[in-house]
Amino acid sequence: MAAPAVTGPILTLNNGVKMPALGFGTFANEGSKGETHKAVVHALNAGYRHLDCAWFYQNEEEVGSGIREFLSQNPSVKREDIFITTKVWNHLHEPEDVEWSLKDSLEKLQTPYVDAFLIHWPIASEKNADRTVKIGSDGKYVINTTLTNDPSPTWHAMEKLYSSGLTKSIGLSNFTQPQIAKILTYAKVKPAINQIEIHPFLPQQPLIDYCFSRNILPVAYSPLGSQDQVPGTGEKVSTNKDLIAVAEKNGWSLAQVLIAWGMKRGYAVLPKSSNEGRIKGNAKLVELSQEDFDAVNKVASGRWSRFVNMKDTFGYDVWPEEATK
């Protein structure tokens, strides 16, 4: 019998493409060989039908082999039943490199198309002749200021790939409201997605509202927060007593509460784990009562703690105004 799909919300992108609201993040710090393959198989068996990948993760071959293993064992599930996202990295923003990046990801994933192709960061950097990231004498990325300030050639290359059918939708990741507004001034194909960090310590309500107002779907990475502490206070999402109280009251895991909070706010969420038990647990979707939703919102109110900012690697800060918060 085929593994059942999670009975969660199905969201519709601005071009009519359907996206399961529950996605599985494939980024892995450990990088141990075989881990991503097994995690993808566990996720698909648990019912996930949305996989979030990226060229930068350097594990798309394992994602592809995991998908193939699952499909071979579940012949009633087809490739078109699985929503696959990939992303182009900073040093591949020149139009010819954007195309190369997608085709390289397709080859590794062993699929003729992806369902979404995103610009991973609103930062373009230089590359070496072998298409590796060019690093400056300061140990940071060498920024391509022309393409960073005017990403229109990059976006038009994305549009061309969308027209070719190699991707069913195109979108953004880590883009701010002004950066999205700039894209919209020249986009022939509107971004369908903006994938951003969202959790109760970084609720992002203004950016979420802006995206919805432009018919761009927010997608939350790091929806479970981080094991990192909030600088200055030492707080963690995972140990917040008010969030834990909502989970314990209902007999749920904290992860289930955080996933449900995101879904109730109307966007897609991308929890990640390599642990089979947690992968299965996260796929057991629950629904927050209004009282519990309000309790999580109360925790989120006034907070602004970003855990994912690669400014020290890039030598460029997407959110310089946050340094004073």
pLDDT for 288-302, tens place per residue?
999 999 999 999 999
pLDDT higher than 60, residue 31: no
Quote the number of domains for the chain: 1
User: Is there a domain that residue 8 lies in?
Assistant: no
By the 8 A CB rule, do 194 and 269 touch?
Answer: no
User: Is there a domain that residue 121 lies in?
Assistant: yes
Banded model confidence at residue 32, pLDDT cuts 50, 70, 90:
low
Which residue is listed with tokens 């970084």? 202
Q: Mean pLDDT across the stretch 186-208? A: 98
User: Is there a domain that residue 229 lies in?
Assistant: yes
Total-model pTM: 0.96
pLDDT for 228-268, tens place per residue?
778 778 899 999 999 999 999 999 999 999 999 999 999 99
* Strand, helix or coil for residue 170: strand
User: Is there a domain that residue 323 lies in?
Assistant: no
Q: Which residues are annotated as a binding site for substrate?
A: 120
**Residue 195 belongs to domain with CATH number:** 3.20.20.100
Q: Distance between CA atoms of 50 and 271, rounded to whole angstroms?
A: 11
Q: What is the DSSP string of 13-62?
A: -TTS-EEESB-EE---SS--TTHHHHHHHHHHHHT--EEE--GGGS-HHH
What's residue 232's pLDDT? 74
- Domain holding 309, by residue range, is 18-314
User: Is there a domain that residue 325 lies in?
Assistant: no
Q: Which residues are annotated as a binding site?
A: 120
Which residues are identified as catalytic?
57
- For residue 244, which amino acid is it? I
What's residue 72's pLDDT? 98
Sign of CA pseudo-dihedral 279, 236, 262, 20: negative
133: left (phi over 0), alpha (psi -120 to 50) or beta: beta
Q: Mean pLDDT across the stretch 122-135? A: 98
User: Is there a domain that residue 298 lies in?
Assistant: yes
Buried b / exposed e along 279-298 (16+ C-beta atoms within 10 A): bebbbebeebeeebbebbbe
User: Is there a domain that residue 13 lies in?
Assistant: no
Banded model confidence at residue 1, pLDDT cuts 50, 70, 90:
low
What φ, ψ does residue 82 adopt, rounded to 5°?
-115, 125
Q: Mean pLDDT across the stretch 69-86? A: 97
